[in-house]
Structure 1
Amino acid sequence: MGFKLNFFKLVVRDLDAMVDFYTTAFGFEVQNRIRLSGLEEVMLVLPGERFNLVLYHHTDGRAVEIGDGHGPLGFITRDLDAALGHVLASGATPDKGPIDLPGMRLAFVHDPEGHELELIQIVRPSAAAEKKP
């Protein structure tokens, strides 16, 4: 069947503010915008990637509550400390971390509307550590 994951949707209260956050904090680019009766969506894509993050906004005034029915949206980075500082300066709020684990470092933050995000840096052992008996 050849399934591939193509997009993930986050329901947001303030579409323009969240587009601004994700483009500023992570470098997403707006790929498309759709307006239909009762909803508006903005498709975001990272440069060179095909996977889309879709920000979905109800335009009929209904309330949006952030639930706990899913885990965090995960991002890989080469430099966790720099990435964490950047997303916090862009409007995210800290949650947990940085946490050092075997082979990785990670931190959890929340976007301006409360969606949980996970930042992960893959850490390879240094040459000195590899030579230890």
Structure 2
Amino acid sequence: MTQHPIGIVGFSHVCIAVSDAEASLRFYRDVLGLDVFFDIELEGPPMEVVTGEAGARGRMIGGMLGGTVVELLEFTHRDFARRPENTLGYTNISLSVSDIDAAVAAITAAGLQPEQQPVDIGGVRMFFIRDPDGTPIEFVSYPNGERTSAQMWGYGN
């Protein structure tokens, strides 16, 4: 593994801006299994400094999802319009599952509709759903029992 001068020691978390913290909490916790370990209100000078906006306030909910910390961030001082598709920057969260067909069945049983049946691309089976704000969530199943793309490509072996 290559050392870099910045000194990065690991990946910290994924933060997702949401329009409705309660609706997103129901989706990420109740459907995907987010194990929530904090739920805080944010306001005051630190929020104003970080956002560059007077009166900035919000709510942040964080937890573990598939071994990664996921934070849901609702800026309650802003009025966000939903976008049908992200075209630059963050595109989706990808969750690795051991059985893609069981994942489709569980998603369907939760009352959600996958965007497509699982497709195979280069030996990886995948499908997408969307969270309450339309953010794509990808489910992937790797060949030969691998759990990540790094394992599939032999990185770190």
Q: Compute the TM-score of the two structures, normalised by the length of structure 1.
A: 0.79
Cα offset, 1:39, TM superposition: 0.9
1:61: Cα distance to partner?
4.4
Please point out which of 29, 36, 44 is paired with 2:42: 36
Partner of 1:87: 107
Q: Residue deviations 1:40-90, cap 9 Å, x none?
A: 10002137x3x2110000112422433332221100001111112222433
Aligned-pair identity in percent equals: 23
Q: Which runs of 5+ in 2 are unaligned?
A: 1-6, 44-56, 146-157
Name the SS for the 1:2 alignment partner: coil
Q: Which has the larger strand fraction?
A: 1
Contact 1:41 1:57 in 2 (8 A): yes
Q: Distance in 1 between matches of 2:25 and 2:144?
A: 33
For the Cα contact (< 8 Å) 1:76–1:119, is it kept in 2? yes
Show the counterpart of 2:131.
111
Query: d(CA) in 2 for partners of 1:64 and 1:35?
Result: 22
C-alpha contact 1:21 1:91 (8 A) present in aligned 2: no
Q: Which residue is equivalent to 2:72? A: 55
Would you say the 8 A contact 2:31–2:107 is kept in 1? Answer: yes
1:5 maps to 11
Residue number in structure 2 paired with 1:128: none
User: Over residues 1-47 of structure 1, what are the superposed CA-to-partner deviations in whole Å (9 max), with x where a residue is unaligned?
Assistant: 13311111111111111111111222111111121121110002137
Question: Is the CA contact 1:44–1:53 (under 8 Å) kept in the aligned structure 2?
Answer: yes
Q: Is the 8 A contact 1:91 1:111 kept in 2?
A: no
Q: What are the within-5 Å matches in structure 2 for residues 13-24 of structure 1? A: 13-24=19-30
Unmatched 5+ stretches in structure 1: 126-133
Number of aligned residue pairs: 123
TM-score, normalised via structure 2 length: 0.69
The one-letter code of the counterpart of 1:45 is: M
